[in-house]
Amino acid sequence: MFTRHKGEVFLVIGATAFALNGIVAKMVMQNGLSEWRMLQVRTGGSFLVLLAYVLLTNYKSLAVKLKEWPLLIAYSLIGFALVQFGYFVAISRMHVSMALIIEFTAPIWIVLWIKYVRKSFVPKDMWIAISLAFIGMLLLAQVWEGMTLDTIGVIAAFLDAFALAAFFVLSERLTPTRSTYSLTVLGFGISSALMLVIFPIWSFPFKIFNQAMNLEGPLKDFSAPGWTLILWIVVLGTVIPYLCVLSGIKILSASTSSVIGMLEPVLAGIFAWIWIGESWNAIQLIGGAIVIVGIYIADKTRTKVA
């Protein structure tokens, strides 16, 4: 059964690991690590791990021509720095699952770009999907009661979604000429270099690595040093799930893989409820479900877009 469905298994493992990573990252940030420093440690740690892997397997793929640098730099800053920063700010100020649902509107923004920038045909089902997504957003925010979601958190989540959409668009231009692994290493590497310029390593709050952190939820009677949670974020929350998703995409289509990836906000909501007591009321649950339906239709219809 695993052989027949291993693509699906890889993608479910990846979505589960990414969803759980949001909970772990939020715990670390609640213990004093800023969103920028979280971005720095996750980006830098992932770069070192993936660099070692690529150097051992295909180091020649890291060669870069001069004309490639501008697009690679834009790809790295948008797809790796902005996507992660927007995500970390969002989950630090609002429910993890809500932040992820907003992030997963990225396929909708891609289609709008295709329609109004590329001037290509967009099927009517896509407009239905967009309408559902925005209705769901209104229910999530409960706008009739005033903005119940943190304003900065919502802005950061939408920044995350726009950056993720741009990441996919730029990836379409780069993947035909470069391997996915080399793109990932270069993306993390360029972002890490920028972070080192803005936030020098000598001012990093290294005490976070030895700080005792309560594991909350079912493990609230236990604590662990910060370095173990940060190691989880880098290896189990970034590198391993990313490799699982890559393996799944190689077996299945990109469209099918992205649909399975929509399990992430659902799983994140379950983990957040169990672990850190985040809960939704009935209206917000309905809103979240409507958003996910809209995203599903958008992703399914995206394969028909010219």
Q: pLDDT (tens digit, 0 to 9) for every residue of the chain, 306 residues total?
A: 555 578 778 888 988 898 888 889 888 998 999 888 998 999 999 999 999 999 998 888 899 888 889 999 998 999 888 988 898 888 888 877 778 778 878 878 877 887 788 887 777 887 888 788 778 877 776 656 655 678 898 899 999 999 988 887 887 778 777 877 888 899 889 999 988 988 899 999 999 999 999 888 787 888 999 999 999 999 999 888 877 877 777 676 555 566 677 777 777 777 877 787 777 788 878 888 888 887 778 767 755 554
Q: What is the pLDDT of residue 306?
A: 47
Q: What is the pLDDT of residue 254?
A: 57
Q: What is the pLDDT of residue 209?
A: 94
CA dihedral 107, 17, 79, 155 (to 10 degrees): 70
Q: Note whether 102 and 160 are within 8 A (CB).
A: yes
The domain containing residue 283 runs over which residues?
Answer: 2-302
**Which residues does 7 contact at the CB level (< 8 Å), separation at least 6?**
247, 248, 250, 251, 252, 257
Number of other residues whose CB lies within 10 A of the CB of residue 229: 22
> Looking at the 3D structure of the chain, how many domains does it have?
1
User: Per DSSP, what are the bridge partners of residue 214?
Assistant: 223
Which pTM was predicted?
Answer: 0.76
